[in-house]
């Protein structure tokens, strides 16, 4: 009897303990929003190449440069056609075309590489600063120039020597190209001169005497030649 009472009391105690314990609620896991990280940008994609195709070269800048180059070459402005313009950062003040016996500052110079073509199909690569005030007609090195017959070169050297007042041995060849001139005036007609419209094979020479450059147009033999003076 006593055992029964003890078991009953123990059962009642256990029942009371269970009723006093809090009932655990199921835990709802938090909803996590996915974190989207930006994809890493390759450094190569964020760096503009040193040489990049134009076009923000303005029409007025191109026209100004065309006039300057035509004056330097001794040809008419209308004879030059803009073929290509590339935005460039030159590695020094030489604009990528250092001249002999010249020293240049090693500074980055933003500018342009512009190519013009004349009526004879001859192309001129022009390197400039960004404001077009500084430019150089970057002709190929002498060793890469067209071969000019000795009689043609000799005739051009004599004319330049007489005009500049120096000895023929002081005249230096800077550039030469083989050209088909569009007329008998060798692409350099004087005002009021009548020229026959006939293809005339010949050469375009750039000679230097006493620090000045002279552009000489010749026929294939050198018997017909003209020093193309700078345009006003």
Q: Is residue 78 part of a domain?
A: yes
Boundary-marking domain end, from 74, 105, 138: 138
Q: DSSP alpha helices (H): ranges in 86-218?
A: 150-164
Range of the domain at 83: 51-138
CA separation for the pair 97, 76 (Å, rounded): 24
39-93: per-residue pLDDT in tens?
333 333 333 334 444 345 667 788 888 888 888 877 788 888 888 888 888 888 8
Same domain, 154 and 118: no
Sign of the Cα pseudo-torsion (55, 67, 189, 160, in order) = negative
Boundary-marking domain end, from 93, 120, 138: 138
Nearest to 231 by CA among 200, 197, 190: 190
194-219: per-residue pLDDT in tens?
888 888 999 988 888 888 888 899 99
Q: Is residue 162 part of a domain?
A: yes
Burial of 220 from C-beta contacts in 10 A (0-12 / 13-18 / 19+): middle
Boundary-marking domain end, from 138, 158, 176: 138
Q: Is residue 57 part of a domain?
A: yes
Q: What's the total number of domains in the chain? A: 2
Same domain, 103 and 172: no
The Cα angle at residue 114 between residues 113 and 115, in degrees rounded to 5? 125
């Amino acid at each position: 009897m006593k055992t029964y009472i003890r078991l009953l009391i123990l059962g009642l105690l256990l029942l009371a303990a269970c009723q006093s314990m809090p009932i655990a609620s199921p835990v709802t896991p938090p909803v996590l929003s996915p974190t989207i990280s930006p994809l890493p940008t390759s450094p190569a994609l964020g760096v503009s190449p040193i040489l990049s195709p134009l076009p923000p070269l303005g029409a007025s800048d191109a026209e100004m440069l065309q006039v300057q180059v035509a004056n330097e070459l001794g040809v008419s402005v209308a004879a030059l056609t803009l073929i290509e313009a590339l935005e460039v950062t030159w590695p020094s003040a030489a604009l990528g075309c250092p001249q002999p016996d010249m020293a240049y500052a090693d500074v980055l110079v933003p500018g342009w590489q512009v190519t013009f073509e004349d009526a004879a199909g001859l192309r001129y690569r022009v390197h400039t600063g960004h404001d077009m005030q500084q430019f150089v007609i970057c002709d190929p090195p002498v060793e890469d120039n067209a071969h000019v017959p000795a009689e043609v070169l000799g005739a051009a050297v004599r004319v330049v020597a007489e005009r500049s007042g120096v000895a023929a041995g002081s005249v230096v060849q800077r550039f030469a190209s083989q050209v088909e001139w569009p007329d008998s005036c060798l692409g350099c007609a004087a005002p009021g001169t009548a020229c026959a419209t006939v293809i005339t094979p010949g050469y375009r020479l750039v000679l230097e005497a006493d620090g000045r450059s002279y552009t000489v147009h010749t026929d294939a033999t050198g018997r017909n030649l003209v020093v193309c003076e700078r345009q006003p």
